[in-house]
Amino acid sequence: MRKKYFAISFTVITAAFIVLIPSCRKINDYTELGGGLIPPVDNITTFDTTLSVQAFNDTFGLANDSQYLARSAVHFVGLINNDPFFGKTDTRMFFELKPAIYGTYPFVRKDSVKIDSIVLVLGYLETYGDTNTAQQIKVYELDRTNNFTNDSAYLIRKENFTYTGAPLSLSGQIFYPRNLNDSVKAFRDTTKNQLRIKLDTNFARRLFNYDTSNAYKTDSIFRANFKGFALRSEGAGNAIMGFHFGSINTKLAIYYNYPKVGGGGRDTSVYYFFFTFLSAAAQYVKRDYTGTPFESSLGGATQDPVVYLQGSPGTFATVKIPDLGTISNRLIHRAELIVEELYDISDSTFYNPEVLYLDASDPSITVSNYKYRTIPYDLAYTPSGFDFRSLGCLPLNEKDASGNPIKVWRFNISRYVQHVLTRTQSLYDLRLSAPFTLNEVYGVPPGTDVVYPMFLNSSVAKGRIRVGGGNHPTQRMRLRLIYSKL
């Protein structure tokens, strides 16, 4: 009898323990969110519920994408030919390298010179994609008809410049992105983090043949003779490489030798053209979604179970929460839109954006050409800028049900939701995206509007992620409410 009693008791205690573990974790999840300010969920005075959301994929497209890139930003060149979800990306760079000073001939001597080589050197920063697939970068000269200036910014979705004829680069130069941070030893240049591309020495001879009257007198005269470089990857590739034009590693190096004064052999020298304050730069990013799961998700009237988000120039999702406009007023302790990554092995190659951003579509905005604003009341503007962390734009590291590492975003929209429930705020459609920069309408309360620039992700072109939509079977996007009744 005593053994039977012990067995029953152990079973009951074990079952209770199994039930209590998720219950306690559920309470801890909620209370930890508010840092002690949110009362524990007891289903007597404090409650939690989840509202369904609807998500619809879309792409910014050329007509709606106003992303420009400053000359000082990271620029990318390369090809992604096989992202299983987002297809292809083609990035191209355009830039000028110039003499350090004008009004003087830049080389040691003009006569009896023998050109050893001319090398375009680029200061390497990072690779996004597969570092083990070889690529070939070809260098072209911009046509002289281009209007390319250092005081202009250019749309990254448009190839704004023309370049015709044979490439300046020598054929057959193939490299692996994984080797770009290796040490390099060259004449008067021993360093690492360089991409070195040999050019045709006929181009170097042309630069030697210029003089102070027809090229090196002023910057405008030099620009009339040489408009700059266009770089693109051709053929295979599954990565894009980022470079910094302002780096000491970015330069045009011309190696040559000449007779020593008084005879007795030859001297060797090198002259560098650099990216100066007078140099122009531009970026082109082409996306091709043909045949991809993302393309298949576009254009439908039904909500999407999988949301595809890609960095600028990229994609976004419209998020609707229709039930929020139908529930009665209550005291909101926490309202968070939960967004979970859908794990795939390719995520280790094509990793996620650093920041996801949530804003609101407001048809009543009076600022010309704008229709999106910051989430009312929830995105704070501080002396150091917008507080994206408190809004929840930075991801948390968690695991899915299979133990795979995933990113999770919990957007805190508590004040906005409270105003919707008190009927002092319109219910908006929301937009989820991963932009590089934005010019956003900000006003608290809405109507006191000012347009502010926002800087979100560290660069263009890189970063993508799939997250669960509102009707995903296991990792659905949802709005969680922690509240008390009034």
Q: How far is 79 from 237, CA to CA, in rounded Å?
A: 5
- Strand ranges, E, within 176-314: 183-186, 189-192, 194-199, 229-233, 238-243, 251-259, 266-274, 281-288, 306-310
Over the stretch 90-100, which tens digit does the pLDDT of each residue have?
Answer: 999 999 999 99
Q: How far is 337 from 246, CA to CA, in rounded Å?
A: 40
Class of residue 325 by CB neighbours under 10 A (exposed 0-12, middle 13-18, buried 19+): exposed
Class of residue 299 by CB neighbours under 10 A (exposed 0-12, middle 13-18, buried 19+): exposed
Over the stretch 214-271, which tens digit does the pLDDT of each residue have?
Answer: 899 999 999 999 999 999 999 999 999 999 999 999 999 999 998 887 777 888 899 9
Q: How far is 80 from 91, CA to CA, in rounded Å?
A: 9
pLDDT at 369: 84
What pTM value is reported for the model?
0.88
pLDDT at 172: 86
pLDDT at 31: 41
Q: In which residue ranges of the chain is pLDDT below 50?
A: 1-36
Q: How far is 200 from 18, CA to CA, in rounded Å?
A: 73
pLDDT at 213: 85
Could you check whether the bond before residue 363 is cis, i.e. omega within 30 degrees of 0? no
Q: Residue 349 has what DSSP assignment?
A: T
